[in-house]
Structure 1
Amino acid sequence: MASPVDRFRELLRIPTVSHADESETDWAAFDAFQETLERLYPAVHASLRREVVDGHSLLFRWRGADASAPMVLMAHTDVVPVVEAEWDRAPFAAEIAGEGAEAAIHARGAIDDKGSLVAILEAVEQLAAEGFAPARDVYLAFGHNEETAGGGAKAIVEVLRGRGIRPALVLDEGGAVVEGVIPGVTVPTAMVGVAERGVMTLLLTARESGGHASTPPAVPATARLARAIDRLHRHPFPTRLAPPVRAMLSTIAPHAPQPLRSLFRSLAVTGPLVATVFARLGPEMNAIVRTTAVATELSGAPGENVLATTANASINVRLLTGDTVSGATERVRRVVGDPEVEIDVRHGSDPSPVSPWQGDAWRRLATAVASSLGEDVVTTPYLQLGASDSRWFTAISEHVYRFTPFHLTRAERDALHSHNERIRVDVWLRGIGFYRALLAAS
């Protein structure tokens, strides 16, 4: 009989890679994934009603004694592309390497996000097979294009909204159980995202008449664009502590050594200093205390001896709670300070609303963490740095959280969207226990 790990590995081997240009997506892999779910999880499909939304997203309903105030557990079936030459092991072979507690499954999607998806299904399968019935309705919402447009999750929200459903708790991927992320704090912390930053892309464009590269103008389009990018780099957005970050620091203050404990307990006074210091402690800490902007895609001339008539740069901006698309755009215009560089918003969304870090929904999460992942784990609010499908659910629920119930090292977190993505087997199995505990309290 197949074990949970066997089922996990089988699903990891299906290359459900999504692409921004959906004509490049192999939809047959997504169909195979759905068919495999039906075969591997018979109790789920017998006890829950499943419907397909937006072509490839999945919405399951587990009826409870009470249809009001349901819980939604989210994940996504798609994964990002791979560069196979960068991997030490085949990215879709789901090989296990290492011994004992260090045994790990290496595969694209092991953490992001089939790790959560399969752990949720394992927990539901076990409970359904045992005859468990939730007190309130439970929905499983699995989007198919979170890594690109997120349209599947958005369509699921519209289905639920049309039925008048307002979840009491929504849980998607997000922060993990970590150690040593916050300076001076060594206790394991469950970083539960109560909000996420907004995301936008600006297009910077510089133009010129063109011609042969042997006779360039004094300020070619490429130089004008490079100057604009350099100005953005040299003048970052200001630092500050957003409410979720203040709450995080206040929560972990009792576990921090002096003088950090006093600093974290007196943020009304020390907040500006703490934000300034955090910005210098690496990319993660910098990203929680300021809106970030970075040039990503660049384009210019079509040939090496041709002047670019148009030079473009995509600027990816992640908005800190409290900032807006319009406000960030105007600041970029001021910093660039060149009216001959066009600045257009390609797309953008403001930061999500902030969910409360007290009350019934929060207690349910914290209780599930303590009972399944360890009573020594401190559950703390957290500002999620990346965007997730959960942003769509804020339209129908005030209690949207982002947490992946896995104890991850720095190296494991760094492998997300990169090569050698992996998760330790014991860590993944404990994650199933978290979802069991959360469902049992539903």
Structure 2
Amino acid sequence: MARTSDSSLGRFRELLQIPTVSLDPGDADADGTHFLRFHDALVRLYPALHAVLEREVVAGYSLLYRWRGRDAASPLVLMAHIDVVPVVASEWSHEPFGAELVGSGDTAEIRARGAVDDKGSLVAILEAVESLVAEGIVPERDVYLAFGHNEEVAGDGAQAIVEVLRQRGVRPSLVLDEGGAVVEGALPGVIVPTAVIGVAERGVMTVHLTARELGGHASTPPRDPATARLARAVLRLHRRPFPTRLVPPVRAMFETVAPYTSGPLRRVFASIGVTGRLLVKVFPRLGPELNALVRTTAVVTELSGAAGANVLATAARASVNVRLLPGDTATSAEARIRRVVGDPLVEVDVVSASDPSPVSPWSGPAWDRLAAATRSALGEEVLPTPYIQLGASDSRWFTEISAHVYRFTPFHLTRGEREALHSHDERIRVGSWLRGIEFYRDLLRAS
């Protein structure tokens, strides 16, 4: 019997109150006190789990648990990350790490940094495992819980866990990390809630555009200062986005939802092999999520120049965040950015890059297990569909040891809840979170 929802919520709120903000990977003196406090809280709050599962600390603060099953082959890996992004407390309507409960019943909201990203999944996994262990359940196959500590800063925690598993010859039959969710209204015309399950994720690059000059006093600027050259380069990049195209998982997504789409879009989606070229030109006008599904995106996120208001910049720099659609590579994207910028006096430097992940299949036993748990726990009316994960996650490292890596957060999230990720007033509804626990219980029972 699963533990009561009130006690589950109490544990969730306590863990949300621990401010495990990502540690700067370049700071040798970063204080991991809150992560150690989090570790200690898990041992105290989940005694049955810690009595049965084997636990080890990896890369300083990441956690790897092994729940031995009757067979060590083809294990299940459930992933989440401990760290959260920083907050600007003044932007929040509630204390960011207060984990306040607002309202009552299933529609009550827990408001806290990490409520969805990603302690929502992490604690739901723990609740599911704790309850099953308490019931005396032994899984048919081994189960691993992999909780990285620095996902938000693209750190080494998950990579180190993968290396541990690789050295031990572990080859998971299914890996599940954060990703898509149960959504409504995200796909035009679709009349049922959809569980968008990431079968791949876009690659990520950071590119610096830099224009240089000698500097000097701002009262005597040169004819073409570095800031002007940089501004032109930024505008060229903005005005000439990467071309749109339809990749196989996105095509499959629209073919899947076609029978559940109203009006003329039903026929359009069902015939996407013919209509796809037109659709990918229209989608960018329908919102940023649809735009990101059909093209590699590049956006300037940081600008820097001179040290003072009356000083000419010796180096004006723009940081460009690039997200690569499957089929593009860091090499091809860099070449295109150089062509678009088209100025030999503007340097183009790739600071970091990882290519898109391999695509996992959206049929077969692993997919069927996910789909079955989705319908049984989240509602028979929910339609599982393949999806391209728009952001990067720790799961990309697990593609080295498994061909079945998926990205799905088992919560029904409104548009507002999705938009609050990495922003202020992050929150999750109680009923949605509790159903997520049942999803993990169902998935584990099938393992």
> Given the alignment, which residue of 50, 54, 60 partners 2:55?
50
| Paired residue secondary structure (1:433) | helix
Identity score, percent: 71
User: 2:137 is aligned with what amino acid?
Assistant: F
Q: Which residue of structure 2 aligns with residue 381 of structure 1?
A: 386
Q: More deviation in 204-213 or 381-390?
A: 204-213
> Between Structure 1 and Structure 2, how many residues are aligned?
442
- Equivalent residue runs for 1:346-361 within 5 Å: 346-361=351-366
AA of the residue aligned to 1:33: F
- Secondary structure at the aligned position of 1:184 is classed as coil
Identify the range of structure 1 (350-359 vs 143-152) with the bigger mean alpha-carbon deviation.
Answer: 143-152
Q: Contact 1:167–1:396 at 8 Å: present in 2 too?
A: yes
Is 2:19 the partner of 1:15?
yes
Which TM-score applies when normalising by structure 2?
0.98
Taking a change above 3 Å as real, the CA distance of residues 42 and 6 of structure 1, as seen in their structure-2 partners, is: same
Q: Corresponding residue for 2:251?
A: 246
Q: 1:257 Cα deviation (Å)? A: 1.7
Which residue matches 1:196? 201
Instruction: Tell me how far apart the structure 1 counterparts of residues 31 and 419 of structure 2 sit (CA, whole Å).
Output: 27
Residue of 33, 40, 43 corresponding to 1:38 = 43
Query: By how many angstroms is 1:26 displaced?
Result: 3.4
Contact map agreement 1:176 1:405 (CA 8 A) in 2: yes
Tell me if structure 2 keeps the 8 A contact 1:91–1:108.
yes
SS for the counterpart of 2:410 is: strand
- In the TM superposition, residue 149 of structure 1 has moved relative to its aligned partner by 2.1
| Contact 1:18/1:25 (<8 A) preserved | no
Partner-residue secondary structure (3-state), 1:237: coil
Q: CA deviation at 1:20?
A: 3.4
Describe the superposition over 1:117-141 as per-residue Cα deviations: whole angstroms up to 9, x where unpaired: 0000000000000000000000000
Q: Within 5 Å, which residues of 2 pair with 1:147-158?
A: 147-158=152-163
Q: Is 1:217 aligned with 2:222?
A: yes
Q: Which 10-residue stretch deviates more, 33-42 or 143-152? A: 143-152
1:215-294 → structure 2 map (5 Å cutoff): 215-294=220-299
Unpaired segments ≥5 residues, structure 2: none
How far does residue 181 in structure 1 lie from its aligned partner after superposition?
A: 0.4
- SS of 1:247's equivalent in the other structure is helix
The letter of the residue matching 2:15 is: L
Give the 5 Å matches for 1:357-376.
357-376=362-381
CA contact (8 A) 1:17 1:26 kept: no
Which residue number in structure 1 is paired with residue 440 of structure 2?
435
Given the alignment of the two structures, is residue 402 of structure 1 paired with residue 407 of structure 2, yes or no?
A: yes
- Partner amino acid for 2:223? A
CA contact (8 A) 2:25 2:155 kept: no
Is contact 2:23–2:31 with CA below 8 Å preserved after alignment?
A: no
How far did residue 21 of structure 1 move?
A: 4.7
The answer to whether the aligner puts 1:6 opposite 2:10 as a matched pair is yes
Distance in 1, Cα, partners of 2:224 & 2:297: 28
Residue 185, structure 1, aligned to residue 193, structure 2 = no
C-alpha deviation, 1:95, in angstroms:
0.4
Q: Is the 8 A contact 1:143 1:152 kept in 2?
A: yes
Deviation of residue 86 (structure 1)?
Answer: 0.2
5 Å-filtered alignment, 1:37-116, equals 37-116=42-121
C-alpha distance in 2, partners of 1:291/1:25? 34
Counterpart residue number, 2:147:
142
Q: Distance in 1 between matches of 2:173 and 2:111?
A: 35
1: distance between equivalents of 2:277 and 2:107? 40
Q: Look up the SS of the partner of 1:158 in the other structure.
A: helix
CA RMSD in angstroms, aligned pairs only: 1.0
Could you tell me which runs of 5 or more consecutive residues in structure 1 were left unpaired when the two chains were aligned: none
Cα drift, residue 408 of structure 1: 0.4
Instruction: Measure, in 2, the Cα distance between the counterparts of 1:361 and 1:322.
Output: 24
Distance in 2 (alpha carbons) for counterparts of 1:50 and 1:356:
31
Q: Which amino acid aligns with 1:254?
A: P
Please list the CA deviations of residues 257-279 of structure 1 after superposition, one character each: whole Å capped at 9, or x if unmatched: 23111111112211111111111
Deviations along 1:199-219, one digit per CA (max 9) or x if unpaired, are 000011101111111111111
Residue aligning to 1:205: 210
CA contact (8 A) 2:209 2:318 kept: yes
